[in-house]
Structure 1
């Protein structure tokens, strides 16, 4: 009786293993990777806005006004 159960269990395991193997082989052919015909185009709309705020003390402002030809 025990021998029959072991044989049945063994056959079940072999059958399941075979089914998994066949299934894996069948699914292995489904994956395809192709290169695109056209180059990949990426459109990025980026607005970069930069504001520089500076404050000059009275002496520096006066110096710039006196030597405006330098700037």
Structure 2
């Protein structure tokens, strides 16, 4: 049992030198396509509703 645990513990140490991490040569580009149309329309509708309520005698 002790030899098995020793062998299992030794495997990551033996493989530790085989792993290399390198930075990419080109910059990382993250494209975010955010749809804000819905929020703008909602705010305009809310503002229009408030304007109608405040000036009910005009309409």
Q: Shorter chain as normaliser: what TM range?
A: 0.5 to 0.7
The structure number with the bigger radius of gyration is 1
Report the aligned-residue RMSD: 2.4
2:19 aligned to which of 20, 24, 31: 31
- Higher RCO structure, 1 or 2 (CA under 8 Å, sep 6+): 2
Provide the TM-score with structure 2 as the length reference. Answer: 0.54
Deviation at 1:21? Answer: 4.9
Name the count of aligned residue pairs: 47
Question: Structure 1-normalised TM-score?
Answer: 0.48
Q: Equivalents in 2 of 1:57, 1:38: separation in Å?
A: 60
Greater helix share, structure number: 2
Query: What are structure 1's unaligned runs of at least 5 residues?
Result: 1-11, 62-71
Aligned pairs for 1:38-49 (under 5 A) are 38-49=26-37
Q: What stretches of structure 2 of length at least 5 have no aligned partner?
A: none
